[in-house]
Structure 1
Amino acid sequence: MKAFAHPDQARHDPRFFLMRGRQRPNFEVPARAAALEAGLARLGIVPAIPPPARRAAIEAVHAPAYLDFLRDAPAAWAALPDPGPEVVGNMHPTPEMLAQGARLPAGLVGQVGWYTADTACPIGAATHAAALGAAACALAAAGEAAQGRSAYALCRPPGHHAYAARAGGHCYLNNAAIAAEALRRAGAARVAVLDIDSHHGNGTQGIFWTRGDVLTVSVHGDPNAYYPWFVGHASERGGGVGEGCNLNLPMAYGTGDAEWLAAIAAGLDAIRAFRAEALVLSLGFDASEAEPLGFLRVTADGFARAAAAISAAGLPTTIVQEGGYAVEVIGSLLEDFLGGWSG
């Protein structure tokens, strides 16, 4: 299997993370990618550096003004009086504000709140470059899938919490959505996104909510007690022509291999019924029992069995790396997963 990684991922090194009212070190660190590359090396896989991502391919998913904000915000932030080291919002528009005509502010502090969903997506000087590198990996892997093959994209920062014009949850560009749209434009009539990260793929759901040509399936921890808190419920089925093209399979706290694998099997049944011609797999290792902020309790064997089940669907697959923050084990989990992949 081909794999893709970009050296700019190491330049994104966020520091800020707010957890239960305390500022803590960020879990989304460059060592994550190094650990995943080490796992690839043990499999004998040398990831290629992808060609640069074309702006048009990213604009197919993300709003141009948002992309400009990600590029320009750090320099503008540094020019503010007494700024912090990273761009972090301190207020976000509420549903009441949005219902009453809230609009994008002219001032930078307000723009940061508008374009970010939470405080878990600090923007540094190299965040934009790293996000572009991750998107390039996803596009290169999608190019392989468009030729009927499967490929792995080592995407860092991850992407599935990013909306069309909003960052959140360590995510800036939605790599899975970019890959899915690229596959559609390459000729796949129907594309499915299967998200097995432990957190709901809310950004991916939002991007394709009214689309009938992309099925989004997410297996994740129950949002009543887990990020992203407000969406990810089983009742969310899509809107307009996309009604019925979104499937959420929330899991209870402590769910282990058996129920998690059963949910993945249900998701694969839905993908077969949808008659998908290509698959994008949002692969998160934060469902692992070793996860520092763990909610689910999936074992290494569970990940290997998930790989065998998903690959057995026989679809050309773009595997996009999402979360997984137990740096000491994620490389071996990637080994187990790709080792379990057939074809």
Structure 2
Amino acid sequence: MKTVYSEKHKLHHAKLELINGQMQPAVEMPSRAETVLDRVKAVDLGLVVEPTAHGLDPVLKVHDAGYVDFLSKAWDMWTAEGRDYEALPLVWAVRGLRQIEPDYIDGKLSYYSFDAGTPITSGTWQAATAAADVALTAADMVRDGARSAFALCRPPGHHAAADFYGGYCFLNNAAIAAQSFIDSGAARVAILDVDYHHGNGTQAIFYDRPDVFFASIHGHPKQEYPFFLGYEDETGAGKGEGCNANYPLVWGSGFDAWSAALDDACKKIAAYGPDMVVVSLGVDTFEKDPISQFKLKSPDYLKIGETIAKLGKPTLFVMEGGYAVAEIGVNAVNVLLGFEGRS
């Protein structure tokens, strides 16, 4: 299995985030991707290649043009106010407030974000667009006949919707890749999100569409971030009715409950009959993850890969979350080894 990786991810290096009511060192850090890359090489997973540039056209097939323009200019607008530190929002346009984009950068940050834990830095735009190129390059490989490919994306993407960011995510790499499959002739694509947190952005992008099936196994929104999406009764809307499946699990869930959800999700995906499968590969389900509450162990990730392989579909793996940095490489690559039958 080939891995696509860009050094440009290091340009996004937030120092602090607001979590648990305090400004704390950011858990989404460059060493996450570097540790995974080291493990890819250690097990000789396959060739590691740099991405090719795809421009913004594929991004704009998924994301609102105004939002993309904002991301490209946000840091310059922020520093123009004399600030040399990371950009965070001030307020959110919640119930009862007008949904009108302000002119001032503080208002724009508030308009386009949904949390205070996702700082914009000097290199965020370059890193985010490079991550999209990583996903698109790996998608090209699968479309051209490879059984699978691994897009080692950073920043992650599944919390980013068409017109807002959050959850460490700016551009939705998995959604951009899935849309590229559709645009190149795939009739149906399935996205399987195995990250601990619900892929709210991916769900929102495809919720009313029949050509992309989305399934997510995640912490229950009554307990867990992002809190306001990911319930079982969210099954799609309009022409997309029946093309969304959520599996919210309570804190403390282990592999027995988690794997039962995976089995059911895979049954639904098989019944849907996609041409391609995109896996949003988060391994923050791990028992030692610092911001998550599931109890999966490293050998469990081999079994996850084995189960996904049984779908028998061309499969693109797109890196999402996982914040136990010491183990992230083993856990993420175990999924890929399991998929390849190298357990």
Give the secondary-structure state (helix, strand or coil) at the position aligned to 1:269. Answer: helix
CA contact (8 A) 1:166 1:172 kept: yes
Corresponding residue for 1:49? 50
Q: Is contact 2:281–2:332 with CA below 8 Å preserved after alignment? A: no
Question: What is the rounded CA distance, in whole Å, between the counterparts of 1:274 and 1:324 in structure 2?
Answer: 29
**Partner residue, 1:15:** 15
Q: Aligned partner of 1:311: which letter?
A: A
Give, in whole Å, the separation in 2 of the partners of 1:253 and 1:88: 29
SS at match of 1:94: coil
Deviation >4 Å, runs of 4+: none
Please point out which of 226, 232, 235 is paired with 1:234: 232
1:37 is matched by which residue type in structure 2?
A: L
Distance 2:334 2:207 in 1: 33
Deviations 1:74-131 (CA, angstroms, capped at 9, x unpaired) = 11101115x360111010110222xxx4211111111110111111211011001101
Cα distance in 2 for residues equivalent to 1:332 and 1:108 = 40
Unaligned stretches of 5+ in structure 2? none
Structure 2 distance, partners of 1:180, 1:285, is 20
* Paired position in structure 1 for 2:37: 37
Q: Is the 8 A contact 1:176 1:320 kept in 2?
A: yes
Matched, 1:93 2:93: yes
Q: Report the counterpart of residue 306 of structure 1 in structure 2.
A: 304
Separation in 2 of the partners of 1:180 and 1:11?
Answer: 25
1:221 aligns with 2:227: no
Report the AA paired with residue 237 of structure 2. G
- The one-letter code matched in structure 1 to 2:123 is A
Match of residue 135, structure 1, among 126, 132, 137: 132
Among residues 264, 268, 271, which one is paired with 1:270 in the alignment?
268
1:206 corresponds to:
204
CA deviation digits over 1:165-191, x for unaligned, max 9?
101000000001001000111111000
Separation in 2, partners of 1:50, 1:324:
22
Q: Is structure 2 residue 314 aligned with structure 1 residue 316?
A: yes
Q: Is the 8 A contact 1:42 1:335 kept in 2?
A: no
CA distance in 1, matches of 2:30, 2:132: 16
Shifted more, 45-54 versus 155-164: the winner is 45-54
**Does the CA-based 8 Å contact 2:196-2:283 persist in structure 1?**
yes
SS at match of 2:78: helix
For 2:25 and 2:17, the matched residues in 1 are separated by: 6
In structure 2, what is the Cα distance between the partners aligned to 1:95 and 1:193? Answer: 30
Shift of 1:334: 2.4
> What is the percent sequence identity of the aligned residues?
38
7-16 or 158-167, which moves further after superposition?
7-16
1:118 aligned residue (98, 115, 119) = 115
Q: Distance in 2 between matches of 1:227 and 1:334?
A: 21
Question: What is the CA distance between 1:339 and its match in structure 2?
Answer: 1.5
Q: Which residue of 2 aligns with 1:65?
A: 66
Any conservation in 1 of the 2:213–2:244 contact (CA below 8 Å)? Answer: yes
For 1:72 and 1:314, how far apart are their aligned partners in 2? Answer: 42
> How many pairs does the alignment contain?
339
- SS at the partner of 1:96? coil
Q: Deviations over 1:34-69 (max 9, x none)?
A: 101001011223420010132101100011111111
Give the C-alpha shift of residue 335 in structure 1: 2.9
Native 8 Å contact 2:213 2:269 kept in 1? yes
**Aligned 8 A contact 1:32 1:330 in 2:** yes
Asked if the contact 1:52–1:136 (Cα under 8 Å) also holds between the matched residues in 2, the reply is yes
Note the C-alpha offset of 1:148. Answer: 3.4
Provide the C-alpha distance between the structure 2 equivalents of 1:22 and 1:244, rounded to a whole number of angstroms: 40
Shift of 1:275: 1.1
Q: Is the 8 A contact 1:53 1:133 kept in 2?
A: no
Q: What's the secondary structure of 1:249's corresponding residue?
A: strand
Q: C-alpha distance in 2, partners of 1:108/1:315?
A: 44
Which stretch of the first structure deviates more once superposed, 197-206 or 292-301? 292-301
Indicate if the aligned counterparts of 1:161 and 1:201 stay in contact, CA closer than 8 A.
yes
SS at match of 2:216: strand
The answer to whether the 8 Å contact 1:18/1:119 transfers is yes
Conserved? CA contact 1:77–1:108, under 8 Å: yes
Q: Is the contact made by 1:216 and 1:247 (CA closer than 8 Å) also made in structure 2?
A: yes
Residue of structure 2 equivalent to 1:161: 159
Aligned residue number for residue 108 of structure 1: 105
